[in-house]
Structure 1
Amino acid sequence: MSVFRGLYPPLITPFHADGKINEKGLRDHIDYMIDGGVDGFCAGSSTGEFMNLTREEWETVLHITKDQVAGRVPMLAGGAGMSTAETIERSQYAEKMGYDGLLVISPWYQVHTQREVYAHFKALREAVHVPIMIYNNPPVTGIQLGVELLERLANDGIIQYMKDADSDPYTIARLKMRVGDKIEFFYGHDNNAMGAFAYGATGWVSGTANFDPHRWSKFVHTCIDDNDYTLAKDLWYEILPFVEIATVGQNGERADWIAIIKRGLEMRGKDVGTVRPPMLPVTKDVEEKLQGIVSNLFAEEVAAALA
């Protein structure tokens, strides 16, 4: 059984100008990420715009990803569905394809009780054999997975990993104190990663890592392998401008994070296209700020892309 540790970016889904999946763009992006030092992938999840894909397209993304990765790194599949039955069916599909684990957020829209969430993941555990990474993301689901619930899921062997997308990683510390090494912790937001590693996280599911996997990977392993938080702080302030623009929105709204990641890659000469509606491309003011950030990090690349 694979042990997941390190940088596991949730892959973007490149699109052509007509909105169709860009298979070559996805294959090229996977190679770019592996060459950049990522430890694994999450495919068909939210950064990959699974919510904007048809079921057939979601399957296509999983097939392309598995084929292109070709066993070079472990792979997680986003198995989330609106119902328990759909979640099980999607997860079983990914398991049969050979994915090493599942990244699963609790059902959204209906704000479920802790009791319902436990039953949901218990049913999933009984239906699949690969490790489950539970995904805590209160802004999306409308529910904070409580420490008591997560402790029970860990102690009962239902989950093996946790991705915590709460910007405050205190939940990781509280749960680590209770369950020790029964599960492994991944930080799932981008704006407080160093704090999460200091609390005991050993991995990062970072959407912004799609933009610059080499720099992001170096930061992660400086924290979790070298335990060198002095160097990590210097690396953090290198990547923070991009992290901030991708995670901190304006006027109380969420940031256009996927559009920003994709546009940042386009500025570096990577053919990944833009987002699908109802999401929109970046605004003019964000474009200008992003241009400055990307230029500071990759001056030569940007000049070549604009030439």
Structure 2
Amino acid sequence: MFTGILAAAVTPLTADGSAVDAAGVQRQVDHIVGGGVHGLVPGGSTGEFTTLSLDERKQVTELYVEAAAGRVPVVAGTSALSTAETVELSVHAEKAGADAVMIVPPFYDALSFEELLAYYGAVSDAIDIPIMYYNIPSASGVRLTPEQLAQLARETAVASYKDTGGDYAWFSAVHQQHAADITALNGWDTLTFAALANGAKAGVWGTASVIPRLCADLYDAVAVRGDLEAGRALWAKIFPICRFLESHNYACGIKTGVELVGVGAGPTRLPVLPLAPRYREELRRLLVAAGAVEDRVAV
């Protein structure tokens, strides 16, 4: 149901990190949507969902839906360690106006496939909007075969999946062999160009929260117009930023990036620390090289 680039969005916090910053959400949405990005995914890993209370997570969903105001679809992250809490968050997201929910399998104690079917089945029974499966084996410990992922989609309301596994052969197998069952969305930053060139309909991309126009232009060049030459030129600017972000705490990197481009979202919550000054300067230089910020004295 999704096409284009969907921005994995941060959770703006007040300066002391103690509360969600509602005005900050509006700034993020206006920046992202104004840059031509096609959708929003708040409440995921980039949104630091594991550090938020249940009430804060509901607040974030409500704020992003309100700020989007129907301009682009909103996919709310509703992952939780228990089925009951995941259902509660998902039901709330639907009532708040989200277009879909994104759910990572409960982490820490990896589920069997049978347990996974029951977990997503329970959410499917509770809501009428689609589910995006969040494939991130490094965090969840769950490694499905392409056939199992297709079966999950056939037997539940899972309609698409965000692939943050980094295994391009696995992603390609699902995309090429099981497209009738499930829509593949790339979620591994440095594989974005390859995934779009391979025909992926969409991607969930944290970098799009920082440099939305470049990311939207890449999608248009590669996925819409099939202009690989133009796409390569854009990718040459974008790739170094993606590689940097994958080398650091991702949420912290994105929050630093949005601050550097002028739409600050406050700090990350502890235990994640701010980027060291030398890394902050490295990211600034990459954004300057991409044309996203003006060159100036290091901050």
Cα gap change, 1:154 to 1:56, in 2 (>3 Å): closer
Q: Which residue in 1 is equivalent to 2:16?
A: 18
Q: Which residue in 2 is equivalent to 1:252?
A: none
> RCO greater where, 1 or 2, for CA within 8 Å and sep 6 or more?
2
Gapped runs of 5+ residues in structure 2?
none
Q: Which residue in 1 is equivalent to 2:69?
A: 70
Q: Which residue in 2 is equivalent to 1:267?
A: 260
Deviation at 1:295, TM superposition (A): 2.4
Deviation at 1:122, TM superposition (A): 1.8
Deviation at 1:207, TM superposition (A): 0.9
Deviation at 1:279, TM superposition (A): 0.7
Cα gap change, 1:278 to 1:233, in 2 (>3 Å): same
Deviation per CA, 1:227-264, whole angstroms, max 9, x where unpaired?
2222212111111111011002xxxxxx2222122212
Deviation at 1:131, TM superposition (A): 0.9
Secondary structure in 1 aligned to 2:158? Answer: coil
**Following the alignment from structure 1 to structure 2, what is the Cα–Cα distance between the partners of residues 191 and 299?**
18
Cα gap change, 1:263 to 1:74, in 2 (>3 Å): same
The aligned amino acid for 1:25 is G
The aligned amino acid for 2:2 is F
The aligned amino acid for 2:117 is Y
Q: Is the Cα contact below 8 Å between 1:172 and 1:199 reproduced in 2?
A: no
Q: Is the Cα contact below 8 Å between 1:163 and 1:187 reproduced in 2?
A: yes
Deviation at 1:126, TM superposition (A): 1.7
Q: Is the Cα contact below 8 Å between 2:261 and 2:292 reproduced in 1?
A: no
User: Which has the larger displacement, 15-24 or 277-286?
Assistant: 15-24
Secondary structure in 2 aligned to 1:85? Answer: helix
Are residue 279 (structure 1) and residue 278 (structure 2) matched? no
Q: Which residue in 2 is equivalent to 1:159?
A: 158
**Following the alignment from structure 2 to structure 1, what is the Cα–Cα distance between the partners of residues 189 and 293?**
26
**Following the alignment from structure 2 to structure 1, what is the Cα–Cα distance between the partners of residues 146 and 49?**
28
Are residue 9 (structure 1) and residue 7 (structure 2) matched? yes
Q: Which residue in 1 is equivalent to 2:133?
A: 134
Q: Which residue in 2 is equivalent to 1:230?
A: 229
Output the aligned Cα RMSD: 1.9
Q: Which residue in 2 is equivalent to 1:179?
A: 178
Deviation per CA, 1:276-300, whole angstroms, max 9, x where unpaired?
1011100133123122212223476
Cα gap change, 1:177 to 1:291, in 2 (>3 Å): closer
TM-score computed with the length of structure 2 as normaliser: 0.93
Alignment of 1:1-307 (within 5 A): 3-19=1-17, 20-156=19-155, 158-248=157-247, 255-298=248-291, 301-303=294-296
Deviation per CA, 1:166-221, whole angstroms, max 9, x where unpaired?
11222222123332333211001101112222333111100111111000111122
Deviation per CA, 1:63-97, whole angstroms, max 9, x where unpaired?
11111111111111111110122111110110111
Q: Is the Cα contact below 8 Å between 2:103 and 2:132 reproduced in 1?
A: yes
Deviation at 1:305, TM superposition (A): 10
Deviation at 1:108, TM superposition (A): 0.5
Q: Is the Cα contact below 8 Å between 1:9 and 1:41 reproduced in 2?
A: yes
Q: Is the Cα contact below 8 Å between 1:151 and 1:178 reproduced in 2?
A: no
**Following the alignment from structure 1 to structure 2, what is the Cα–Cα distance between the partners of residues 27 and 60?**
13
Q: Is the Cα contact below 8 Å between 1:16 and 1:22 reproduced in 2?
A: yes
Task: Tell me the number of residue pairs that the alignment of Structure 1 and Structure 2 aligns.
Answer: 298
The aligned amino acid for 2:266 is G
The aligned amino acid for 1:126 is D
User: Which has the larger displacement, 59-68 or 168-177?
Assistant: 168-177
Gapped runs of 5+ residues in structure 1?
249-254
**Following the alignment from structure 2 to structure 1, what is the Cα–Cα distance between the partners of residues 172 and 92?**
34
User: Which has the larger displacement, 262-271 or 72-81?
Assistant: 262-271
The aligned amino acid for 1:222 is A
Q: Is the Cα contact below 8 Å between 1:294 and 1:302 reproduced in 2?
A: no
Cα gap change, 1:75 to 1:300, in 2 (>3 Å): closer
Provide the identity percentage.
Answer: 32
Secondary structure in 2 aligned to 1:191? Answer: helix
Deviation at 1:110, TM superposition (A): 0.4
Stretches of 4+ aligned residues off by more than 4 angstroms: none
Deviation per CA, 1:6-60, whole angstroms, max 9, x where unpaired?
1111211122221132221211111111100111111222211111111111111
**Following the alignment from structure 1 to structure 2, what is the Cα–Cα distance between the partners of residues 176 and 297?**
30
Deviation at 1:302, TM superposition (A): 5.0
Q: Is the Cα contact below 8 Å between 2:161 and 2:182 reproduced in 1?
A: yes
